[in-house]
Amino acid sequence: MNLGKAKKEIVEDVGTSEVDHLHHFKVKFDSDGQKYTVDCNQPRTVLEIIKSHLSQQFKEKMKRSEENIIIKLGEGNDSHIVPTHFPCSCVEEEECLIVTTSAKVVEQKKAERRVLPRENYSVFFIDKEGGKYTKTKTDMIFRCNNIVEQFRYFCVYGRKGTKVVETLRLDGRFVAGLTDFNLSDNKTGVLTNCTEIVDNLDGRKFHICLPKEGKTKAKDPKQQAIQEQDATQQTSDEEQQEKASASINSQSKSKTTTVLEYAGKEGVSLKTAMEKSDCQIDHKEVYDLLRQQFPKLKELMEERFAGRSFNKALKLKKENFGKIQQTFSKVYTMRQLFNLSESICLLEIKETSSDFKVQGTGFVLSGNLVLTNAHLFKDFKKGMGKNWLKYLNISATFNYENPDGKSKRTFNTEVLVWNHDVDYAVLELICGSQTSDQTEIPPGLLKRFGPVPEPGDDGGACIIGHPAGGERKWDVTCIIRKEDREEAVTQNLEAYKDHLFTVCSINYQIKTNPYADIHVTYNSFMYHGSSGSPVFDPFGRVFGFHTGGFFFDCPRPGHSVIEFAFPLLYIFKMLLDDLQKSGRQDMLDKVLVEAQGNGYLEEIIDRVGLKQSKDQAHCVENQERNGEIGEQSDSEEEMDTSSH
């Protein structure tokens, strides 16, 4: 494959969807009053466009954090402010955006969301003054209720089909606990409940009305419910412990706690924890103890899906998943993902002195660098001592999609970077002496890195890899939000709802995982052998790094209940930190050069203080293009960051 040609084809393929997007608007920085014309040629947020087209002016005028930025549309008493993530498609032609800042935080920064055409959104306006019973309670509505800038409304947008309460939560300018309110139409006074969808609100203006009761600041109802449930559970536990059988002595309770801690620490099921730990506990005794401590657990689980609500929820999820499948089945999307999947390889790690081997998946990061999971090497590292890498043969096979394997290409590979905590490793493909070998490497996917899709989007994802060491496959799935993980476990184990021990152990593993807040979770058939697979969104951006799953041993051995990935933007930041600490400037320069042009990566580079290194890397790239610098020798140094 010709590297330059492949990159050109991808760029042209992506560009075809942006031809009809071109529109114009104006930008003015309030400090000088000068207006600038901006030609928007691709879907982005208004802040992304301003920073891209007017980067120098933005740096000179905006001295505060992005959370303090105010973007206003219109002038006078009828003007409104929009969030920094406002879609460019919702800005009217030739409209003027006035950019200024506030001394206080106006907007909580949210993860980037993909921008859709205008017809997908409902845009409405929230009056900065509170409605009935709410005149003096604006601190219970807005994150910043004392903005000096003259305006009348907060302009809000929501994807059609989204509830009002969810739209305001994703906006970032409203307090986190705003979950019980009505919208009062400014003209008619008709109320809209916060649980209604936004489809019929487009263009309308509202006051927010809070309940008459309550003199204190709004609290997060989820947190309040958790606190109340904990108090109830504590009382229940105390009563049950008083009634517990005398046969369950303190030693048994102590051992049970040890098993739970062991399972959480090692990320295994409770059955495996009991087998591997030193505690010898009778299974019946443990089940009895669980029943006595949680007598209402089953009842609570069943109450969550009263009547036929479980079937309705499951049906709705199937309908949403059907839409996701249709999105990924489009010819354009399939062709794009197929081209990008050329950069994915099957990895085989073999011991030189035995037949033992481990298989996994990786993908080209940049040049001849491949990204994969560090846990593929875990068993070798434990059993071979300090020089474990010398006893391994690592191969990377590309284009392995046919059983006959006629078109596949295989490279020898070496480990360069290792980080056990966030489970990634960077490998180097060893090319032959001939220049043609280098051109056989597919293009890297680093330039395609992007954010995890927001819950307000369809949450679609596609994993491409080599499960069980076989031909390349892909699996279309949908992201499971953090607050929905327990429900997903319950659904996936519906057939085993009487095995409370199993359900509890899986939820315990997920909640106690140190990266629970970072993981992206979903359901997938991509099990063993697919670790290290990239996870794509429908636009061809790579946002995830398929890493593993949460398992149970009974009743189906080795079955993964729910799978997870690390966000690649998080991995990228960790990689920059590791390269800096290890002094691998050669690799760092390559990564920085490849990251240029990707706004998400450039923001991370600037945030970690690598702007100067980025400029130096750019100079090196120009010199190499002009033939001023020869090839540098490959470094055989290994960086082991497993102690992080």
pLDDT digits (tens, 9 = 90+) for 132-181: 888 888 889 999 888 878 889 999 999 999 999 999 999 999 998 898 99
Is the pLDDT confidence value at 325 over 90? no
Nearest in space to 448 (alpha carbons), one of 524, 531, 324, 535: 535
Task: Decide which of 11 and 515 is more confident.
Answer: 515
First to last CA, the chain: 38
pLDDT value at residue 166: 93
Assess whether pLDDT exceeds 70 at residue 61: yes
Residue 257 has pLDDT above 70, yes or no: no
* Cis previous bond, 443, omega within 30: no
Give me the mean pLDDT over the 443-450 stretch.
95
Fold agreement (336-447, 449-570): yes
| Residue 465 confidence (pLDDT) above 90 | yes
- Cα–Cα distance, 363 to 69 (Å, whole number): 38
Say which residue the tokens 């979770």 belong to.
521
> DSSP class of residue 112?
-
Percent of the chain with pLDDT over 90: 32
Q: Is the pLDDT of residue 634 over 80?
A: no
* Average pLDDT value for residue range 21-40: 84
Higher pLDDT, 114 or 1: 114
Question: pLDDT of 224-240, one tens digit each?
Answer: 444 434 433 443 443 34
How far is Cα 545 from Cα 568, in angstroms, rounded to an integer? 6
* Residue 239 pLDDT: 38
Q: Spell out the domain ranges in the chain.
A: 21-209, 336-447, 449-570, 578-640
Of the candidates 203, 196, 133, the one whose C-alpha atom is nearest the C-alpha of residue 163 is 196
Query: Which of 202-216, 472-486, 500-514 tops mean pLDDT?
Result: 472-486
Q: What is the pLDDT of residues 398-433, one digit of tens each?
A: 988 876 656 788 899 999 888 988 999 999 998 764
Highest mean pLDDT among 98-107, 313-322, 479-488: 98-107
What's the whole-model pTM score? 0.50
Q: Choose between 256 and 276: higher pLDDT.
A: 276
CB 481 within 8 A of CB 454: no
* Superfamily in which the 336-447 domain is placed by CATH: Trypsin-like serine proteases (2.40.10.10)
Q: Topology of 449-570 in CATH?
A: Thrombin, subunit H (2.40.10)
Q: What is the pLDDT of residue 243?
A: 39
State yes or no: pLDDT of 636 exceeds 60: no
Mean pLDDT of 374-387: 80
Average the pLDDT over each of 35-39, 408-412, 549-553, 625-629 and give the range with the smallest value: 625-629
Of 291, 614, 339, the residue nearest 474 (C-alpha): 339
